[in-house]
Amino acid sequence: MDSATNATNARPVRTRYAPSPTGFQHIGGLRTALYCYLFTRKMGGQFLLRIEDTDRSRYVPGAEEYIIESLSWLGIECDEGVHIGGPKGPYRQSDRKALYAEYVQRLLDNGWAYYAFDTPEELTAMREEYKTAENPSPQYNAFTRRHMRNSLTLSDEEVTTLLGEGVNHVVRFKIPADQTVVVNDVVRGEVVVNSNELDDKVLMKSDGMPTYHLANVVDDRLMGITHVIRGEEWLPSTPLHVLLYRAFGWEDEKPSFAHLPLLMKPDGKGKLSKRDGDRLGFPVFPLAWVHPLKEESSSGYREIGFLPEAFTNVLAFLGWNPGTEQEIFDNRADLVDAFSLERVSKSGAKFDYNKAKWFNEQYIKALTPAELAAKVRPFAPAEMADVSDERLTEICALLQERITLLPDVWEQGAYFFGMPQSYTRKVLKKKWKEDRKPHFQSLRDDLAALSDFSAEQVETTVKAMMERTGLGFGDVLQILRVMLVGVVSGPSIFEIAALLGQEETLKRMDYGFSNFDAILAEPAA
């Protein structure tokens, strides 16, 4: 059994993915969801989706639906959540507001929290007064709170009056001084922090909404979360969360923590961001999405032609490895079985977009031509959309080994749907010689005489022409390929000709005989 369960092995494993509906869904968030899902499935537990929307100023309409769609595309199935319900709901924090007030009051009553009435101006003045070269950003902590306007420095009567008058205030957590806080992290190992390094975080804002720290801990406890798997950026907040568990008397039931490594830019220098994706030409988000409150839109892996199974494989290897040479997990059950939090790396995971495309290639190659045809059809340009399933399957069979992204079938196979729009002049200039033209005319007549226009018969006919004329493969096949498809790269020209059909092949050869001289006479572009 995975040793990550040691601290909580008496309870069924329960994990959560708890994103905020604030806009684009970063690839790092989806990796967190996947790791939670894989670990939970391996342990036979429950995985839930919770929406953490306590920061209403950053709420974006439609973002919640976007998150759910992203998980669905990747096949990350939830056992409970905002979209399906469950016994521990509601699963949207804005629907749990009254509940948080009860738990804040508990902390106020037992001395672990206090009211703070400081104005923004007073907070700014405090930071200026206590700023030093060694401490350029003073915190609201065990030292400075003694000099501020809060329920620790005011009389009970003053506090009651201020509350009764509705004076703006927040509730802060009272960090104990000079205590050692230990976080046992599955990925990081033991992390030790002195409480003097922590500040008195706000637990309840002036609008009555809880902050992330309070809502997160309360919800994890009430929802029975046994393992908190999240990004490295939350590690500095974890000592506070450990203290909150202590303050509530829940320390013996706090979850195991596992903080995942940062996702790094392709060059390994710095955290991967949306700007990096835009600059380097690849998406950072799983799905295309238009931000309704800003003039922003994302490109998406689904929309550019990644298979969800391949993208899942990509995500899995962003900070984890199975300890073997295996890279392709085409069976979800095998990936679940191989996954372990103990094999998650501490160091940042470099995102390699070219490697991601390699994964997609492997999954595309593993499909049957008919399966590939069904997956590429949604990407069809309007002028090609009416192609039959049978013919599209034949085209996919011919191109399958050469494509990286699903739309490549339509781009690389455009010549199956119409005459080439341009021709490789370099080949024509080198190979389209006056003394060879009669030989190509003869080849055209031989192909016209075929009663069986299969790839094998086309190949036999072309090779017979080469044998009697003494022309080599480069002399004949390059010109024939340019005549039929316009370029010199691609799958077997014999198979292309057979798929184009006899009539279309002869038509394109006739066009070449009639137009290549004129094309060569045109000024080079």
Helix then strand count (H, E) for the chain reads: 21, 14
**Residue of 97, 274, 355, 357 with catalytic role:** 274
Is 355 annotated in the active site?
no
β-bridge partners, 454: none
Task: Report, in this order, helix, strand and coil percent for the chain, each rounded to 5.
Answer: 50, 10, 35
User: Is the Cβ–Cβ distance between 429 and 474 less than 8 Å?
Assistant: no
List of residues 6+ apart from 211 with CB closer than 8 A: 54, 201, 202, 203, 204, 205
Q: What angle separates helix 493-500 from helix 389-399, to the nearest 10 degrees?
A: 170
Which 3 state secondary structure label does DSSP give 472? coil
Alpha helices in 317-386 (DSSP H): 332-338, 353-365, 369-376
Question: What's CA 53's distance to the chain center, in Å?
Answer: 21
CA dist., res. 126 & res. 118, Å (int): 10
Neighbours of 520 (CB within 10 A): 13
Which of 110, 133, 259, 91 lies closest to 184, judged by CA? 259
List of residues 6+ apart from 331 with CB closer than 8 A: none
Which 3 state secondary structure label does DSSP give 49? strand
CA dist., res. 411 & res. 522, Å (int): 26
Torsion of CA 421, 427, 431, 437, to 10 degrees: 0
Alpha helices in 400-436 (DSSP H): 408-412, 425-431
Question: In one letter, which amino acid is 353?
Answer: Y
List of residues 6+ apart from 386 with CB closer than 8 A: none
| Residues designated catalytic | 274
